[in-house]
Amino acid sequence: MNEPPVIEIRGLHKSFGALDVLRGVDIAAHRGDVVSLIGSSGSGKSTLLRCCNLLEDSQQGDILFDGESVVWRGSGNSRHPADRAQVTRIRTNLSMVFQSFNLWAHMTVLQNVMEAPLTVLKQDRATVEARARALLDKVGIGDKAEVYPAQMSGGQQQRAAIARALCMEPRALLFDEPTSALDPELEQEVVRVIKALAEEGRTMLIVTHDMRLAADVSDHVVFLHEGRIEEQGPPDTVFGAPASARLRQFLRATEPA
């Protein structure tokens, strides 16, 4: 029997008041898939990721994890998840990396990475610390374990945020513009880590403005336009032979000067 997708979204709709941000989106990521979401600012990419992680409530559609559908109560603007335990279980298996790092300033890097497994998963401290130190080594900042986020560059902070996400041992990683707050040199530090994770076969959804990153790491690329999927497919097709005039226009606009 075929394994269900780790993440599946069916017919998702999301609005903020009168503004329709998502208008019936379908996406699936199977185990080991890297799916990149591209599109102009305001196309719904980050909102889709936040709905996926249940940080935002959607008004219509289904969200499934490993074949298990989120249980909803209410409808339309009053719809929200009905089972808090299910939400917690899903979130512990979906680690999100944000554009702005979101590290706790009063904690060392090591403490940041260890916090969620200790407090949410109630795991053994020695076990968590060993895993956290190994992950900091993995992302190339093992020597920064005892420093505070403010003492690090943006690229180092983002790599710490990735180590923190990995320390939960999630089924999938969600990246929301992980390099857009960084200058080009620091951006490449983070890109190298994301590429290494893709080569390991990690399941990832990546919202990105970096077309080269999307082309290099993705199994599937989704181009969102005005809340709908305008075009999707393997990166060779999406970037090499785009069918939609809107996608062609978007790609021309994102080409380096």
* Domain boundaries of the chain, sorted by first residue: 1-93+172-257, 100-169
Q: How far apart are CA 178 and CA 210, in angstroms?
A: 10
Asked whether residue 1 carries a pLDDT value surpassing 70, the answer given is: no
The hierarchical CATH code for the domain 1-93+172-257 is 3.40.50.300
Rounded-to-10 torsion of CA 95, 99, 102, 103: 90
- What six digits make up the tokens of 248? 């062609």
Residue with tokens 């090591």, as numbered in its chain: 110
- pLDDT tens profile 114-152: 999 999 999 999 999 999 999 999 999 999 999 999 999
For residues 31 and 245, what is the distance between their CA atoms, to the nearest angstrom?
32
The pLDDT of 197-221, averaged and rounded, is 95
Per-residue model confidence as pLDDT tens digits over 26-70: 999 999 999 999 999 999 999 999 999 999 999 999 999 999 999
What value does the mean pLDDT take over residues 220-226? 97
| Contact in structure between 73 and 153 (CB atoms under 8 Å) | no
- List, in order, residues 6 or more apart from 150 with CB less than 8 Å away: 105
Give one word for 88, left, alpha or beta, with left for phi > 0 and alpha for psi -120 to 50. alpha
Host H or E run for residue 86? helix 84-92
Query: Which one-letter amino acid corresponds to residue 165?
Result: A
